[in-house]
Amino acid sequence: MNEKLYSVLFVFILTTVFVLCLAGINALASGTIERNERLEFQRSLIYVFELWEGADSPPDEEVQKLYSSRIKEVEGAQTVYVVEKDGTREFAFTVQSAGLWGTITALVAVDESGSRITGIDFVSHSETPGLGGRIDEESFKEQFRGELISSDSSARVAVVSGQDTASKDDSLIIATYVIILDIVLKAYLPSISKALGPYVGLIITNCIIMGRAEAFAQSHGPVLSFIDGISAGIGYSLILLAVAFIRELLGFGTLFGLRVMPEGFTPWVIMIMAPSAFFILGAIIWIARTPIVKKK
């Protein structure tokens, strides 16, 4: 009874300490995060309105200057942003849609008549980098400029976007540090935070791998545990490379960004979506285990 009570108290105290740490760090960084998010949103407005002619993204000072001097906010049921260019006005507003891993928020600019898209940018999403996350690429966004808004189905553009364990104490500790890291990145390294996307949070899933390594180490010596860790790491790496190889080859017709499939090849859309990884992994396990089952 005393041991159970001790475990409950220990977890309660540990949780309380980590919650207080997270609350404190979030309070310290929230202002900086909000400023960074506001600055990135203003940068997106400048992009969709094409107010910056430089090849690179405008520096923070230019973003604030252009936003305050060229863009007006019109408050209402939804905030609309207005800019005057060459005697005509363009309007921008945010739209949201469900993505594979969460809500996708886009900033869309239209001409004065509202019949043509003049620019689009994706201000927030949780899509997989390299797959659905490619909606951030310039080539993808630029294809919408000048696109006619019409009820005619031929004028529409349809886009598909992406679409033994560790102990409770270990998971709690890892989850806490991951959340702290995510907050710090958003506050002080927003570009890195945006590039990493959902992968920071997915660090928590490594508890599964760590739990297996810990279970082996508890019943074996350091040498065997070291060999086991190296072997497991190599094995996981090879599996990830194999899955990535197949998905890129069939999903995009490329390898390491270089086209290898013939021009007439039709990409398999399913391969750029998350479920394909499970299908491929299942096939690899089936191929690997078939000889073992036959021997038995």
Residue 143's pLDDT is: 82
Asked if residues 141 and 71 have their Cβ atoms less than 8 Å apart, the reply is no
Q: Which residue has the tokens 């740490």?
A: 21
pLDDT tens sequence across 5-44: 777 777 778 778 877 887 888 888 888 888 888 888 888 9
Nearest partner of 79 among 117, 38, 113, judged by Cα:
38
Nearest partner of 202 among 226, 182, 184, judged by Cα:
182
The whole-model pTM stands at: 0.56
User: Rounded to the nearest 5°, which phi and psi values hold at 94?
Assistant: -95, 145
Distance CA 258, CA 156 (A): 30
Cα dihedral sign for 18, 23, 28, 33?
A: positive
Long-range contacts: 221-227, Cβ < 8 Å, 24+? none
Interacting residues of 227 by C-beta distance below 8 A, sequence separation 6+: none
Q: Which token pair is 153?
A: 């189905």
Mean pLDDT by 10 residues, the chain (296 residues): 70 79 82 86 89 80 87 83 86 82 84 84 79 78 79 44 44 62 73 69 67 78 88 88 89 85 84 82 85 64
Which amino acid is residue 185, in one-letter code? L
pLDDT tens sequence across 38-78: 888 888 999 888 888 777 788 888 888 888 888 888 887 78
Start-end of H helices in 88-189: 138-142, 168-188
Distance CA 126, CA 111 (A): 29
